[in-house]
Amino acid sequence: MKNKGLSPLAAGGIAAGVLGLSALIGRRNAPDPSHPRIRRWYRHLDKPGFTPPDQVFGAVWPVLETLAAVGGYRLLRQPASHARNASVALWLGNSAMIGGWTELFFRERRTGASTAAAGAMAVGTAALAATAWKVDRPASVSVMPLAAWLGFATLLAGEVWRRNAD
């Protein structure tokens, strides 16, 4: 009997659950009018000139996380193997770290720790892309934009940390 991946329903449920949980955590920490304390703090940070407008963040993150969820779905559908399992573990870990980053940066205001977390996510997502390439190339390609964005986010977070360190 050939080793199969998860059914479409199970893989879709997991991918949707991961995406939904990440969105809920991110929403909990968003610097928008529903979180005035977070919004006020974020607006008063000294940010570099290459900081995108807030609307860009709001538009980019859902797309990147959805692409990653599609990649996760595709990986879960593949037959279990060391590379597939490692890819799934990296995807789940990175998805959890995205929510953790928003908690560190926006809620706890730990700009240094959030910079380190952004760097770890960038490296982890690059590792996910490399590992997934051996399993399912479309899944690998689906996380490459996230890896690039996280590299940029690491530079941005580091500059915010440097400019606002006490």
3 belongs to a structural domain: no
Into how many domains does the chain fold? Answer: 1
Please state, rounded to an integer, the average pLDDT across all residues of the chain: 95
1 belongs to a structural domain: no
pLDDT band at 166 (very low <50, low <70, confident <90, very high): low
102 belongs to a structural domain: yes
Q: For position 149, which CATH number holds?
A: 1.20.1260.100
pLDDT band at 2 (very low <50, low <70, confident <90, very high): low
Helix (H, G, I), strand (E, B) or coil at 98: helix
Give the tens place of pLDDT for each residue, 27-83. Answer: 899 998 999 999 999 999 999 999 999 999 989 999 999 999 999 999 999 999 999
Q: Which domain holds residue 146?
A: 8-164
49 belongs to a structural domain: yes
Structural contact between residues 145 and 128, judged by C-beta atoms closer than 8 angstroms: no
Give the tens place of pLDDT for each residue, 65-76. Answer: 999 999 999 999
Helix (H, G, I), strand (E, B) or coil at 7: coil
What per-residue confidence (pLDDT) applies to 1? Answer: 44
CA nearest neighbour of 136 among 85, 98, 94, 97 = 85
45 belongs to a structural domain: yes
2 belongs to a structural domain: no
133 belongs to a structural domain: yes
Query: Can you state the angle between helices 82-102 and 111-133, rounded to 10 degrees?
Result: 160
91 belongs to a structural domain: yes
pLDDT band at 26 (very low <50, low <70, confident <90, very high): confident
- What residue type is 8 in one-letter code? P
